[in-house]
Chains A and B, each alone.
Chain A
Amino acid sequence: MKKTFAIFEKEFKSFFYSPMAYVVIGIFTALTGVFFYLYLSNFVESAFMDQMRAQQYRQMPQKFNVNLMLIRPYFWNIALISLFTLPTITMRLFSEEKKQGTVELLYTSPVQSIYIILGKFFAGLAFYITLLIPTMIFQAILFIYGDPEFLPVLSGYIGLVFLGSAFISVGLFISTMTENQIIAAIGGFALSLFLWVIGWASSYAGPTLAPVFEYISIIGHFEDFAQGVIDSANVAYYILFSVLGIYLSLKSIESVKWRT
């Protein structure tokens, strides 16, 4: 456990030693910021238009729901940006160690492989949560000037963390297989994207396969979180997904040890 924490600590710090982390944080914050601004402007505009209309016809203005019109689509947006961003975080987790030869240190240290993987997995997750902090600041603005419901926001973030952990486990797995960070990033992205869009295939699939595709889809389970519902089935899906990713990473490491 202590060793897992040592790996976690080192890995998390290492993110910030390389310029990559700042680029990723910068781009992520800029993109989520732009989208927040666009959604907010859109919301304010439609609310304003409605007020004008109401005055014209001497009616009570409609009450606009911030959660429904702004926060929910915004969470989808963050999820989409995460899809593109997370592979750049996970790509280095194992690939860099392989490239630099430090795997020899890790694999010959008295640490079981699973603890190495867990340390790295949680470091990735912690970095992702760091990425989300600016978006929390954006949303805090809404609470200052408006009165959105708090719980859907909280559940949205919980959902994002679960979704992120699924993406990270995918990226981690791909990273164990190559010493090339670019390949790790592209592979991680491609697999994540595939798992995202597989849900779309359900509309064309037959009655037996459709629910399967829908269930596998990584994003299908996010919907409820964004709406403010924490369903244990969705939580279970993401946890199982991450555990599977971690398990495959473990098997990948062990098989590489036996092969090379």
Chain B
Amino acid sequence: MIEVKELTRYYGQKKAISDVSFKVNKGEIVGLLGPNAAGKTTTMRILTCFMPPTSGTATIGGFDIFEQSMEIRQITGYLPENPPLYSDLVVEDYLNFVAKLKGVESSRLKSEVDLAIEKASVGDVRTRVIGKLSKGYKQRVGLAQSLLNNPQVVIFDEPTVGLDPKQIIEIRELIRNLKGEHTVILSSHILPEVEQTCERVVIISDGVVVAEDTPENLTARMRGAERVLVEVEGLEKDVRNALKSLPDILTIHVEKQIDKVLQLVIESKSDLRKEIARKIVENKIGLLEIQSDKLTLEDIFLDLTTKEEEA
């Protein structure tokens, strides 16, 4: 449904995104994850034809962002980071206006607006002036706007930012309900959000895609294998000797050494905690601690997006 090919965008001399490529299938919910200023908004603005990339291209529903931007706009709903609201308009008038902009015929106007109001549950404020609404309702009116004219693709830029926990849950619920009917891209720098709402995650850092997968796979792949953290009192050579006979071990890596105490990270194909413990003890090396190292998306995120100082 959406295909992004090597998008690069400069702001003056500064590179905002570089060679960003990913694909989104029909009906999927994909999360663009990254710290602030990673290039999420830039990518979304390019996809919604708000601005062109410096190089590279993208297609939505088979339409090219350069050649067929009007067609793309027709099938895409967009909620920018700051909901684009006219504060002096009444909610209903605003939605009517947007529906007309999107080319909804006058015969369908009322039903389209009603549907969007229902989906975003802003029915209780439909006759109120937008400027007087709370942040949560403003966000939802923005959401209603993006769902007008039943777009095939919906793009949300940080849809839950600035909302209270209850509102966040409601918005997430709402987005999850779009699954299947609409193809959704949403950006966020909040991990649980992406974990809960998205089927696939594209992690962007410093304008580069650093990972792309399902939240589960990403966790699994990043772990690469089972990781066991071992603290022993002894020599590295002895430990290596001791564990040599275990065929499933992939790597042994010394994390830290304080006097005789070694901290090791052992990666293996399967969970070998029992075997490792036994071998170490059998070889008369003092075993101080052994634990399985579990990575959360949080770790992966930090790992992928934090620059390593030593590198």
CB contacts (< 8 Å) of A260 on chain B: these are 11, 51
Asked whether A18 and B101 contact (CB < 8 A) given A104-B50, A108-B50, the answer is no
Are B84 and A6 in contact, CB atoms less than 8 angstroms apart? no
Q: Verify if A109 is at the interface (C-beta below 8 Å from B).
A: yes
Are A14 and B89 in contact, CB atoms less than 8 angstroms apart? yes
Partner of A258, one of B51, B74, B87, B103: B51
Are A2 and B11 in contact, CB atoms less than 8 angstroms apart? no
Could you mark each residue 74-102 of chain B with 1 if its beta carbon is under 8 Å from any beta carbon of chain A, else 0? 10101010111111110001000110111
Number of residue pairs A-B, CB distance < 8 angstroms: 76
Chain B residue nearest to A115 (CB atoms) is: B101
CB contacts (< 8 Å) of B100 on chain A: these are 2-3, 6
Q: Verify if B43 is at the interface (C-beta below 8 Å from A).
A: no
Chain B residue nearest to A109 (CB atoms) is: B101
Chain A residue nearest to B71 (CB atoms) is: A110
- The contact size tier of chain A is 20 to 34
CB contacts (< 8 Å) of B89 on chain A: these are 10, 14, 17
Asked whether A6 and B88 contact (CB < 8 A) given A107-B50, A257-B52, the answer is no
Are A112 and B84 in contact, CB atoms less than 8 angstroms apart? no
Q: Verify if B139 is at the interface (C-beta below 8 Å from A).
A: no
Asked whether A105 and B98 contact (CB < 8 A) given A3-B103, A110-B103, A112-B70, the answer is yes
CB contact list, B239-271 vs A, under 8 A: none
A96 CB to closest chain B CB (Å) equals: 9
Are B80 and A6 in contact, CB atoms less than 8 angstroms apart? no
Q: Verify if B183 is at the interface (C-beta below 8 Å from A).
A: no
Chain B residue nearest to A111 (CB atoms) is: B101
Binding site for B on A (CB under 8 A): 2-3, 6-7, 9-10, 13-14, 17-18, 100-112, 257-258, 260
Binding site for A on B (CB under 8 A): 11, 45, 48-52, 70-71, 73-74, 76, 78, 80, 82-89, 93, 97-98, 100-103, 145
Pairs A-B, 4 closest by C-beta atoms: A105-B84, A6-B100, A110-B73, A17-B88
